[in-house]
């Protein structure tokens, strides 16, 4: 399948309804594809279950039929933070010619406590929810283990945040667009759950993203698509510093694409917390286990490095509207491969990867994209 069009709203605090943001992102993707809803055979949508805001709507497929004024097959794929990637993976496996994949979330219409309570439902119910093991705490425990086993430091985590803020400052769609965040500010921000400081954590935003895929040839081809899962309770895992689902999905996607990790030109990974970006370096094969810190220290994953990662600003600084995140990653990769990323443009980008995660590594999707025009295939 090919990507025909992409679109997204700005990720921020704008007081728009979730439906209006989904509609905006979809219209932008359709416009980019030179299509209308008349050309679309089916829609795959991802939204989060149980958000206690004024727009809670579980029967979203029917709502989209009303929104787009068209009766058509609509499938909803909920996978919390991994929903966008899971929806894209699902859409690629449907037998339709043209499919719209869309996701959107309005998180900031309620209190921080309610958002926290809602997101906690994605954790294991009997033990982790009961003990109040919030995601910052859960991932802080993972970070502590990584530090103990691999000598990763708080400064390494801060460098991840700093890099992603540098990128977001140049991204008009990012929450921290034009915000000058210094490394010293990151390292002095309040502690949330040791070793995490406030600036190690992604920021909740309102936003939506959409992608149109087609079996008709276009400039961007999906050459690898994989999804895997692992045990929801983190205490059941052999090694907390490795997301096995990520490793397996990455290996499958590379095999499908017929490439190795060192052939990639640009990457978006799921940096809900700074440690997760370093772990993604390792699990996706950019370096050996425990050497993620060396990549960030060397500058290799900065925008002018050998393998730029999270050129959009990532979840950390672009923002994290839960289900829309995975599709926004794909939007960034497609625009990079098309040479349309402005100040953030990676030179000669031809192969890109997007990795999206739900929960603490519970569901992971990996997609690889190729600019076929640069290879003379379009």
| 16-27 pLDDT, tens digit each | 888 899 999 999
Buried b (16+ CB within 10 A) or exposed e, 61-97: bebbeebbeeeeebbbbbbbbbbbbbbbbbbbeeebe
Which tops the pLDDT comparison, 67 or 228? 228
Q: Is 130 a catalytic residue?
A: no
Provide the residue ranges of all domains of the chain, joining segments of one domain with +: 2-111+205-212
> Can you name the CATH fold of 2-111+205-212?
Peroxisomal Thiolase; Chain A, domain 1 (3.40.47)
Residues in CB range of 33: below 8 A, 6 or more apart? 4, 5, 212, 214
Q: Residues 165, 270, 320, 367: which is the catalytic one?
A: 320
Segment among 212-226, 228-242, 260-274 with least mean pLDDT: 228-242
Q: What is the pLDDT of residue 238?
A: 85
| 290-330 pLDDT, tens digit each | 999 999 999 999 999 999 999 999 999 999 999 999 999 99
Contacts 24+ apart (CB under 8 A), 57-63: 57/18, 63/19
| 170-189 pLDDT, tens digit each | 999 999 999 999 999 999 99
Reply yes or no on whether the pLDDT at 113 is more than 90. no
For residue 357, the cross-strand partners are 364
Cα separation values, 198 from 190, 193, 217, 276, 294, Å: 6, 9, 44, 15, 23
Which residue in 355, 67, 105, 367 sits closest to 220, CA to CA?
367
Residues in CB range of 94: below 8 A, 6 or more apart? 42, 44, 75
| 4-49 pLDDT, tens digit each | 999 999 999 888 888 899 999 999 999 999 999 999 999 999 987 6
Under DSSP, is residue 2 helix (H, G, I), strand (E, B) or coil?
A: strand
pTM: 0.93
Residues in CB range of 93: below 8 A, 6 or more apart? none
Which tops the pLDDT comparison, 47 or 212? 212
User: Among the residues of 208-340, which ranges form H helices?
Assistant: 244-257, 274-283, 292-298, 314-317, 325-337
Residues in CB range of 331: below 8 A, 6 or more apart? 6, 7, 8, 209, 211
Q: Residues 81, 201, 246, 287: which is the catalytic one?
A: 81
Q: What is the pLDDT of residue 26?
A: 97
| 240-262 pLDDT, tens digit each | 999 999 999 999 999 999 999 99
Q: Is 320 a catalytic residue?
A: yes
Q: What's the token pair of residue 303?
A: 């925008």
Q: What is the pLDDT of residue 54?
A: 46
């Amino acid at each position: 399948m090919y990507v025909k069009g992409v679109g997204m709203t700005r990720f921020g605090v704008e007081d728009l309804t979730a439906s209006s943001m989904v509609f905006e992102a979809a219209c932008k993707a359709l416009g980019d594809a030179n299509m209308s809803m008349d050309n679309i055979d089916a829609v795959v949508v991802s939204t989060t279950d149980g958000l206690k805001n004024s727009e809670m709507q579980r029967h979203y497929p029917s709502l989209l039929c009303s929104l787009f004024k068209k009766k058509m097959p609509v499938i909803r794929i909920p996978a919390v933070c991994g929903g966008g990637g899971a929806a894209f993976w699902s859409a690629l496996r449907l037998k339709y010619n043209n499919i719209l994949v869309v996701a959107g979330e309005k998180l900031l219409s309620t209190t921080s406590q309610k958002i926290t309570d809602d997101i906690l439902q994605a954790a294991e119910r009997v033990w982790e929810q009961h003990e109040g093991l919030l995601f910052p705490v859960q991932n802080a425990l993972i970070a502590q283990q990584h530090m103990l086993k691999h000598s990763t430091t708080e400064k390494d985590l801060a460098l991840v945040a700093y890099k992603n803020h540098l990128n977001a400052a140049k991204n008009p769609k990012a929450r921290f667009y034009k915000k000058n965040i210094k490394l010293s500010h990151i390292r002095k921000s309040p502690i949330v759950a040791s070793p995490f400081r406030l600036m190690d954590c992604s920021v909740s935003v309102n936003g939506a993203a959409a992608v149109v895929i087609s079996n008709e040839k276009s400039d961007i081809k999906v050459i690898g698509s994989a999804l895997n899962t692992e045990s929801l309770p983190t205490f059941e895992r052999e090694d907390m510093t490795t997301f096995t689902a990520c490793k397996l999905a990455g290996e499958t996607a590379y095999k499908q694409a017929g490439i190795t990790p060192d052939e990639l030109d640009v990457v978006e990974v799921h940096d809900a917390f700074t440690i997760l970006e370093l772990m993604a370096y390792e699990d996706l094969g950019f370096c050996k286990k425990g050497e993620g810190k060396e990549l960030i220290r060397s500058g290799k994953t900065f925008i002018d490095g050998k393998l730029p990662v999270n050129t959009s600003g990532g979840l950390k600084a672009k923002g994290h509207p839960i289900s829309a995140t995975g599709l926004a990653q794909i939007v960034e990769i497609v625009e990079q491969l098309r040479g349309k990323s402005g100040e953030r443009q990676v030179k000669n980008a031809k192969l890109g990867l997007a990795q999206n995660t739900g929960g603490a590594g519970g569901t992971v999707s990996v997609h690889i994209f190729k600019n076929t025009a640069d290879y003379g295939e379009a």
